[in-house]
């Protein structure tokens, strides 16, 4: 019995078939067993060279296995010239090496196409053309869509990275994040940047920003960092650091908010001034608006008004264009000096809310508009100096805009002058006993001490 090329056995005509009572020839029997050995040897090639032409069926309902050499991928491989059709599951005990393309069904979130044993509702599936999605517990958790956008927690990403509900704006964003607002006390945000450094001061998460420059692409323009401020057991103080790149490409810190809430611009060590949160600027400060006005308001931060402050504008009128430096105080303005902390300085001058100028005192003596007071025995309390030699008017007195007198100084003298303008007088009558009054005068001659 020989084995032909069609995969069937053919009975030899010599001495076969055997008839009852016939003596089996040893030659024919040996030929039969030789043919069987040849047929079985060549039916499934074991040298990997001869092509197998017969199908290898495995019976249903029994444990049928095709075993190869597990010690070597060279001698333990199953090689076919075409495909391998598998109606049910394919089990690979170790590593599957596929030189060509492995094709899978699309799958669903509930039954992903690529999954793992014992957790078949978690894996990868393909919900649409050019789309890859990821499932966990039978629900989609992320996907890359046909535009290359990655969505986490959404099946409709509209930016390169969309986390949660997509941004509804039409602006072309690089990424968007959404989620429930976290409590401030937790310090945890919707996006967290964490450092893996060993615990140390000035270590923490850094978020950088880049841009394409004329010379380089993706050059760092600036950064925001949250870092550890003070080390120690049970110490959690941190600071927020802001940096930018200058024209030479040097990136340096420009502003810092420390653990006390103090803000430093141009300094990395803002101090706490008078036990209150402080803004400290190492450099110039410019406050203004498009109309040229600028206001520095001092006082209650919860109020939308300004009861005390400094501003630029028209004289005494905030909001009007001008170049006056205005000082405003609800109850008045005081001026203090002293070689001491501001809390220990002495008031020297005050302008009250009624516009009264007080120098050397804090209250009016009567109803004057200007009051000077001094307590020194050396004096003088007030000096009016003429820087031009020869003399001039030191003090002018007027009523309703008309001069009524003045005090003038010369090179060596001071004159107190009043006007005899009849318009300043009333009830004018002739004087009686004029000679007697003149006789009471005692005219003298004299010389100035300086002469």
Closest CA to 162 of 180, 181, 143: 143
What would you measure as the largest C-alpha separation in the chain, in angstroms? 199
Higher pLDDT, 301 or 145: 145
- Looking at the chain, the whole-number percentage of residues with pLDDT higher than 90 is 41
114-140: per-residue pLDDT in tens? 999 899 999 999 999 999 999 999 999
CA–CA distance from 352 to each of 75, 333, 359, 392, 428 (Å)? 105, 7, 11, 32, 42
Least confident span in 170-184, 305-319, 366-380, 389-403: 170-184
The two structure tokens encoding residue 356: 């009264």
Closest CA to 151 of 167, 122, 143, 165: 143
220-265: per-residue pLDDT in tens? 999 999 999 999 999 999 999 999 999 999 999 999 999 999 999 9
2-26: per-residue pLDDT in tens? 555 555 566 666 656 667 777 777 7
Judge whether 384 and 394 are in contact, CB under 8 Å: yes
Mean pLDDT of 57-65: 64
Strands (E), 315-442: 324-329, 332-337, 346-352, 357-359, 370-372, 392-399, 402-409, 414-418
| Beta carbons within 10 angstroms of residue 293's beta carbon | 18
* Confidence grade of residue 420 (pLDDT, cut at 50, 70, 90): low
pLDDT in the model for residue 177: 80
Residue 61: alpha-carbon gap to chain centroid: 65
Locate tokens 């009849």: which residue? Answer: 422
179-206: per-residue pLDDT in tens? 888 888 777 777 888 899 999 999 999 9
Mean pLDDT of 437-446: 84
Backbone angles phi and psi of 417, in degrees to 5: -115, 135
pLDDT in the model for residue 152: 93
Least confident span in 55-69, 340-354, 358-372: 55-69
The residue ranges of every structural domain in the chain are 2-43, 114-179, 199-282, 286-298+307-330, 332-381
Closest CA to 279 of 293, 258, 301: 258
325-356: per-residue pLDDT in tens? 999 999 999 999 999 999 899 999 999 999 99
């Amino acid at each position: 019995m020989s084995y032909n090329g069609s995969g069937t056995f053919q009975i030899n005509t010599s001495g076969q078939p055997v008839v009852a009572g016939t003596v089996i020839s040893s030659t024919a029997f040996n030929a039969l067993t030789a043919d069987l050995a040849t047929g079985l040897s060549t039916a499934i090639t074991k040298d990997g060279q001869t092509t197998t032409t017969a199908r290898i069926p495995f019976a249903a309902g029994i444990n049928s296995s095709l075993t190869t050499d597990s010690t070597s991928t060279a001698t333990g491989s199953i090689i076919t010239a075409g495909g391998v059709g598998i109606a049910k599951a394919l089990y690979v005990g170790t590593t599957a090496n596929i030189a060509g393309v492995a094709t899978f069904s699309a799958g669903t979130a509930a039954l992903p196409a690529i999954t793992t044993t014992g957790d078949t509702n978690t894996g990868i599936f393909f919900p649409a053309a050019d789309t890859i999605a990821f499932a966990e517990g039978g629900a989609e958790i992320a996907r890359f869509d046909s535009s290359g956008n990655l969505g986490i927690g959404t099946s409709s990403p509209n930016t390169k990275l969309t986390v949660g509900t997509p941004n509804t704006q039409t602006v072309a964003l690089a990424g968007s994040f959404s989620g429930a607002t976290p409590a401030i006390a937790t310090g945890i945000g919707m996006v967290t940047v964490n450092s893996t450094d060993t615990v140390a001061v000035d270590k923490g998460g850094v978020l950088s920003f880049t841009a394409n420059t004329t010379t380089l692409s993706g050059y760092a323009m600036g950064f925001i960092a949250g870092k550890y401020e003070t080390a120690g057991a049970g110490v959690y103080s941190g600071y927020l650091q802001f940096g930018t790149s200058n024209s030479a490409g040097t990136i340096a810190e420009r502003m810092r908010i420390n653990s006390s809430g103090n803000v430093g611009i141009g300094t990395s060590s803002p101090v706490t001034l008078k036990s209150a949160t402080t803004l400290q600027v190492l450099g110039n400060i410019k406050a203004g608006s498009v109309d040229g006005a600028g206001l520095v308001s001092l006082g209650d931060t919860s109020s939308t008004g300004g009861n005390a402050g400094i501003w630029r504008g028209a004289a005494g009128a905030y909001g009007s264009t001008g170049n006056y430096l205005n000082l405003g105080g609800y109850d008045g303005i005081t001026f203090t000096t002293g070689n001491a902390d501001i809390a220990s300085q002495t008031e020297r001058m005050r302008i009250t809310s009624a516009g009264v100028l007080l120098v050397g005192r804090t209250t009016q003596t009567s109803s004057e508009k200007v009051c000077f007071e001094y307590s020194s025995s050396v004096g003088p309390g007030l000096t009016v100096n003429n820087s031009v030699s020869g003399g001039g008017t030191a003090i002018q007195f007027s009523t309703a805009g008309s001069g009524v007198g003045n005090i003038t100084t010369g090179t060596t003298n001071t004159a107190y002058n009043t006007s005899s303008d009849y318009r300043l007088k009333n009830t004018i009558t002739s004087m009686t006993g004029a000679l007697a009054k003149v006789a009471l005068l005692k005219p003298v001659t004299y010389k100035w001490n300086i002469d």
